[in-house]
Structure 1
Amino acid sequence: MDNEGDARHLTTAEVASRLDIKPETVYAYVSRGLLTKIPASGRRGSLFLEDEVTRLARGRRHGGDRRTTMDDIASTISSIEDDQLYYRGRNVADLVTTHPVESVASLLWTGELASPPQQFTAPAEILRTTRAAVGALGGSVRLTDRMRVAVTVASASDQLRFDLSAQGVLRTARILLAVEVDCLSATPQDSGTLAQRLGPSLADHAVPAVLLDSTLTLLADHGLAISTVAARVAASARVHPYGIVSAGLGALDSQYHGAASTVAYRFLDDAIADPLDAASERLRLGGGLPGFGHLIYRTTDPRAELLLTMLRSVPAATPALTAIDTITDQLGAPHTAVPNIDLALAVLMHAYRMRPDAGETIFAIARTIGWIAHTLEEYGEPPMRFRPNRIHAP
């Protein structure tokens, strides 16, 4: 144990022992903002404040028959350190400009970047069935609702959906992503990358595939977000991948999660016309500024920073970016004034005059990749491990 002034510090091993968790779970706690990692001067490893560990230990529920809680999940899929996002230990900032999202999906699923990337397609019969079902919904239905229907119908059409082997899950994953993308457009494309096939569904004119591809990569996974928790709980019960993605899509359909970019898009509508008036009105109503601040990142959302940097070279994004710059310059408070990925998605939508629900559609397709990665990881754990410690009679 180390001392620095009056503060007492614990090593990773000591934290793991105090909390009765694996050492790798300690770093999962860091990624979720539950613990603060302190660099150990002159030695390898990290240190943690004993007071912070003690408070966390008090908040955790222990018992003789303790079941797994979300805080106990040690995932190797993604991590956040020093306001940087990593997939399997690789900085997303490096992946986003060098590898297509299909290769990044392979990295998240298998630990290896696929080269060349595999095209994601679905059997013709499954596509015909899903397109017929989605086509019956009418043109006013949201894109994410179309996806939900398509996933359910594709599941009923796939006799191999109960193949839960690693290869079976990978096969289903490629079908799922193809179905989600190809069911959205009235004139679907059956070939090309996911980004190339997705673009026509989001706007009436061309959206650069490279920009969409980068956005999909940035959104593919983000640790134990609420929709990923839903997916992992379903996977713990050995639900097949179609059902797991349906669980994720259900949890995603919230103003606090998947639909947050739509809220930011509408706020940006007002901010482009008058940035400070729009911000003032939101603050007056007490709801905070849509698209600003994040629960995990302390100084910057790296996903937003990367996407906004790309958009600064797009002339049509200038009005939205100017509005954001004006607001951040005036607010000054670092944490609450930092644009997050939802606001960056809203800028992308405004720059290319996309549908108001385009952001949540991109989010859902991208996060499907992450849900599959967590499915594969959860299938390797004991089944039905997420249960309450105590069951109270009604």
Structure 2
Amino acid sequence: MPKAAPPPENLYLSAKEAAAELGVSLATLYAYVSRDMIRSEPVPDSRAKRYRAEDVRALKQRRVAGSGPTSPQFEGGRDALTAALNYGGAPVLDSAITLIADGKLHYRGSNAMALARSSSLEQVAALLWGCRDVQPFTRDAVPHMTPLLEKLAADLSDAPRIERCLSLLPLAGLDDPSVYNMTDRGLAATGARLLRFVASVIAGVAPSADPVHEVLARSLTFGDRRAAELIRAALVLCADHELNASAFTVRCVAGTGATLYAAVQAGICAAQGPRHGAFTSRVESFLTDIAHRQDIEDAVLNRLRNGDLVPGFGHPLYPDGDPRASTLLDLMRANHGDDPAFLRVQRIVNVMAEAGGVHPNIDFAVGALSVTLRMMPGTGLAIFVLGRTAGWIGHAIEQYRSGQMIRPRARYTGEAPK
């Protein structure tokens, strides 16, 4: 068979060419790749990577055009439709829950980093849900476990935590007699039971009215009080992040009139993808692998030199650094700063900052927390899912109150009708 023609030379850029085209460091380029904003592939017969020129130039055009509603890309047509669904595009939906602006994150006007230093996930959940005159997390707001649900939970005790949630949530929704109460009080009460149920499934214990971070700490870290405070902060920092993939999925499901249980289940399905919440597992694997190296700095630099991803660095919405990550790492430094695992984490953060001026994101911080506390692989995703459950419930409630069903239009690119 004849050999395939080689790809055009202008189809790809080297790492240095792509970074120069964008005017960013190599580390920032790799962060764009990790977020699937630029496609990369191996160079034949080499360890280096090459980058799709069209992706680089499309990203450059979006950055030059800007992200405001008066920019040329929002005048209409194909560019407007595409930009609205990517980082930096126009908001897809109105929401009063979370604001990301000027490198900061706010939950209903309150600084999320300040909340992480003092508030429980339950307190933040009530804030996200807009509970002004009602306290949803009462001693009575504990989900009831029927014999069938208890048996299924026991049968699934050896299954991964997230799969247990996905298996048990449909049955729990059927067993919740108030799930169709769509009043403000009813939704808040259902949300409280649902959050506590997810915490119990992840921890592998019976539901209780105890603070969810303590429930997790007892199960995952054998009651380390310092660990409980770090888990509490991580849950709060993961609670919401505006209209990300999982939150938008939740709103689509809630818009159909499905129950809170169904909406949260949809959010978990989206979050367990390796480009979203499960990215923390890639960080855990990386930190575990590099723990056996003495030359950590050289190992990281070699990855950068070869165009390989260092997972958990850079974020398109936080060019100067993810404040969620810096907050959680600061708290870890204060509590476990002399721990060998955390010292390795700090060395990686330092060399990434020095080599390319790029900073860790929340995926890295949560993965680092899991490894530093010697928790089982996959715990970072479990923490992310439990924290984000609070935000998902808030988005579902907001969507119910809007009375709207989300139905975007597709831009047809197929064959013309015959």
- TM bucket normalised to smaller: 0.7 to 0.9
Q: Deviations over 1:191-212 (max 9, x none)?
A: 4111111223323453532222
List alignment gaps of at least 5 residues for structure 2: 1-62, 83-88
Structure-2 change in CA distance of 1:81 and 1:334 (3 Å): farther
Q: 1:122 to 1:115 in 2, by over 3 A?
A: closer
- List per-residue Cα deviations over 1:166-213 (Å, max 9, x = no partner): 222112111111111112445546241111112233234535322221
- CA separation in 2, counterparts of 1:371 and 1:177? 10
Contact 2:143 2:194 in 1 (8 A): no
Number of corresponding residues: 342
Aligned-partner Cα distance in 1 for 2:239–2:375:
20
Instruction: Indicate the SS of the match to 2:123.
Output: helix
- TM-score between both structures, scaled by the size of structure 2: 0.73
User: How far apart, CA to CA, are the structure 2 residues paired with 1:281 and 1:129?
Assistant: 53
User: Following TM superposition, by how much is the alpha carbon of 1:364 offset from its aligned partner in structure 2, in angstroms?
Assistant: 0.5
**Cα separation, 1, equivalents of 2:372 and 2:349:** 19
> What's 1:4 paired with?
none
Q: Residues 93 and 393 from structure 1, CA distance in 2 versus in 1: closer, same or farther, beyond 3 angstroms? A: closer
AA partner of residue 100 (structure 1): S
Which shows bigger deviation, 324-333 or 220-229? 324-333
Query: Which residue pairs with 1:203 in the alignment?
Result: 221
Deviations 1:256-291 (A, max 9, x none): 111111110111113333323442454466442111
TM-superposed CA distance for 1:361, in Å, is 0.6
In the TM superposition, residue 143 of structure 1 has moved relative to its aligned partner by 0.8
Match of 1:219 among 225, 238, 251: 238
Q: Which of 156, 167, 187 is matched with 2:174 structurally?
A: 156
Give the Cα separation in 2 of the matches to 1:120 and 1:230: 30
Relative to 1, partners in 2 of residues 1:293 and 1:165: Cα closer, same or farther, differing over 3 Å? Answer: same
Aligned partners of 1:374 and 1:218: how far apart in 2? Answer: 16
Aligned to 2:253, what secondary structure does the other structure show?
helix
- What is the deviation of 1:388? 1.2
TM-score by length of 1: 0.77
Match of residue 74 from structure 1: 94
Q: Which amino acid aligns with 1:203?
A: T
Query: 1:294, CA displacement in angstroms?
Result: 1.0
Equivalent residue in structure 1 for 2:309, among 273, 288, 298? 288
Q: What is the SS of the residue equivalent to 1:80? A: strand
| Cα root mean square deviation, aligned | 3.1
Q: Are the counterparts in 1 of residues 143 and 196 from structure 2 also a CA contact under 8 Å?
A: no
Would you say the 8 A contact 1:293–1:335 is kept in 2? no
What is the one-letter code of the residue matched to 2:330?
A: T
User: CA offset at residue 134 of structure 1?
Assistant: 2.0
| Shift in alpha-carbon separation, 1:285–1:364, aligned structure 2, 3 A | farther
Matched, 1:239 2:228: no
Q: Which deviates further from its counterpart, 379-388 or 200-209?
A: 200-209
Q: Deviations over 1:226-276 (max 9, x none)?
A: 000100111111111111001101101111111111110111113333323
Shift in CA distance, 392/366, structure 1 to aligned 2, threshold 3 Å: same
1:242-391 matched pairs, under 5 angstroms: 242-274=261-293, 275-280=296-301, 282-283=303-304, 286-315=307-336, 318-332=339-353, 337-388=358-409
Show CA shifts across 1:109-168 (max 9, x none): 015497796458434345x543321211242x2111111122122012123322222222
SS of the aligned residue for 1:291 comes to coil
2:126 counterpart residue number: 106
- 2:109 equivalent to 1:89: yes
Q: Distance in 2 between matches of 1:49 and 1:165?
A: 35
CA change 1:186–1:79 in 2 (3 A) is closer
Name the structure 2 match of 1:144: 162
216-225 vs 146-155, which deviates more? 146-155
